[in-house]
Amino acid sequence: MSSVVAFQFPAYEEPELNSGILASCPDARLERVEKAGVAPTGYHATTIYPEYVRIKGGWVLATESRMDSVIVVTDDGRLDVKEFRRLEPGEMVVVGRREDGSEGIFVYSKGFESKDALDEPFIFRTGRTRETAYSRDYDRMYDLLNYERDNGYIVWVLGPAVAFDHDSRTAMSSLIEHGYAHAVLAGNALATHDVEAALYRTGLGQDIYTQRSATSGHYNHLDTLNRARDAGSLRAMVEGGEVSDGIVRACILHGVPFIAAGSIRDDGPLPETITDCAVSQDEMRRHARKATTVIALATQLHAIATGNMTPSYQVVDGRVRPVFIYVVDVSEFAVNKLRDRGTLEVTSIVTNVQDFLVHLGRKLL
């Protein structure tokens, strides 16, 4: 086990709200919700960054934010960031499209800016590609995860590739067992193939160690789904000894929430898979709003979904701190897609997720 390092967060530089132009800005304008699920015309849509709203002459920070939602001002002056579909008639919504304070809305994107960045117009290798050196990212992640295990809320977003390899599956299970996961978000496929690996030692019919295809192996994931549905739940299979290892088992035995969000192409699905997409989003959001570190592995759609629910900051014990978001995939296109969809503060690592997890596990466990 690695020794715990006193992790140093980037300091949050508070905006100067009580001086200059911001001190004389007007209160934000509020409009009433007239119809459930429909925002007033001219609503302000939230971003990933800290947002301040001026109410009764003072600036108030939205403490649990997410992008592409609206801000409801409660009767006691708090800011509640809500998805459109959750709006109720009578709620008062912040309206205005200018984010510079002139309409009582101030979006602050510079709170965690590095002072070391070069101010030069021409610099090589500013992107994150397969040629990027990731040694510093790994070193920082070791220290971060050791800190977050006891002081934060680590959310993993997992694609099925994690369960297709014996070593990565073992590493992920061990990370969960040793406290390096506080929630796991995935789909029906990850859970299915993880349990398939426990029952048949295959992933989509291939041996998870040798990668050789098993005879009639294409039945294995279907048999897995059938057995799980017959048992009634994955918990019943784990507690009954039918599933003796793996990611799902580690989550169940160690009390780590496992959210399996369904999709239109799911087989089965597993009993625990949530097939109502709005309920899935609510369950994922419940953990994203608490997340202090998010690590998404080889799952483009779930990574984008989680990224859209996760702000770049958290307010913990009255202190604004960054939320660290990592996306890991062998495809440059996949890791860049998350940034293209609005999660601008993501750190991307272009590598095979099996190698990533094994590397992480060897250092932390």
Gap between the terminal Cα atoms of the chain: 5
In whole angstroms, what is the distance from residue 137 CA to residue 154 CA?
Answer: 17
201, 274 contact by CB (below 8 A): no
Hey, which residues does 92 pair with through a beta bridge? 32, 73
**CATH fold for domain 135-364:** Rossmann fold (3.40.50)
Dihedral, CA of residue 359, residue 134, residue 65 and residue 272, to nearest 10: -30
Tens digit of pLDDT for each residue in 76-102?
Answer: 999 999 999 999 999 999 999 999 999
5-25 pLDDT per residue, tens: 467 888 899 999 999 999 999
- Token code pair at residue 109: 């994107």
- Give the domain 20-107 fold: 2.40.420
Regarding pTM above 0.85, the answer is: yes
Whole-number percent of the chain with pLDDT over 70: 93
pLDDT in tens, 155-211: 999 999 999 999 999 999 999 999 999 999 999 999 999 999 999 999 999 999 999
**pLDDT, tens only, 245-271:** 999 999 999 999 999 999 999 999 999
Q: Which of 330, 351, 285 is nearest to 86 (CA)?
A: 285
Matching fold, domains 20-107 and 135-364? no
Residue 5: the pLDDT is 46
- CB atoms < 10 A from the CB of 118, how many? 7
Domain residue ranges of the chain, discontinuous segments joined by +: 20-107, 135-364
Distance CA 113, CA 178 (A): 33
